[in-house]
Structure 1
């Protein structure tokens, strides 16, 4: 039987993974459960010591709002390689990149290298979890957040045909996919991260596996090893 894998991230964020899967002969279904809308954010009036980016969309929203103007932080942190590349394409270079591309690992790295009382700017989405903020504030670091993009819900239609696996990258994607396709809880769900895996299990999904890392290469390997 041909392999048919459903990708639920915003289409632009699916491209690399889709290409890798197609190279392996997999039929890819682009079924975005996430929409992204850049929004206006209040300017930052005070100097900051660090800026932390936990997604590519945060980078886009940061520069969309011109929040970089007048800033000269000693630390520029990116959660992962794709976020770092997005920064580089915008003219900034990440000084800090955690070995494990999660908000928790980024928070621990910054906690090590920042001092109590220093100020960190965190451009984020409206549904971003507070893991990074909690870790840093626990160390006495001041976190100034700006919501620079909205995670929006696209209009979804019922998914037709068989699917070998569904790749989900956030709890909101799990919720939206199953709200439209409630009979798909028996499918294999490949989660990008523990929070998403937990959300899928809580939603009643019987078969959930977690990619060890959220990179397209790791997710591709996880999918293929599970279904071949």
Structure 2
């Protein structure tokens, strides 16, 4: 369940289910707004999902905008193996430490941080569910960067402590796409939750790229 969707809050049952849902949403948008081009924008895990959808729908997705995408996590092979085993036994346990639910590590803008704290639909606490944590690892490790041909823009948060920003650098270096842009910002993980004037700069960069590709 995420936001107002049904299900156990903060629980992702499988990567396959997650990506199927995302592809269904993309298909709906294509049908609803045809013949307009389809662009995807995603932040953090949403960025990773967007890139997966672009690879599953290469002819339909015109471009992808990634905001501090979760393309690499600081997880060792031993930790990943242990997590996989635990996910088969107790996937719903909420015991995995994570900075992804800590507003102070994500949002520098105090107003937006307070809005996050007050949001009844957002995940709370400093731990996430075992199954969800394992899905995050699988999402981040199952992408093949050198097969990415879709045009993309990626924003890197240089002060990010939630995801490993090296993943964004690797994507930019390895992607086959000849239309790719990377931008660095002195920001925390939540790029669109920075105070002005940095927020204005980031928003302008995203919109400028989008307009140039319409």
Structure with bigger RCO (C-alpha 8 Å, 6+ apart): 2
Structure in which a larger fraction of residues adopt strand: 1
> Is this a same-fold pair by TM over 0.5?
no
TM-score under structure 1 length normalisation: 0.30
Structure 1 or 2, whichever has the larger Rg, is: 1
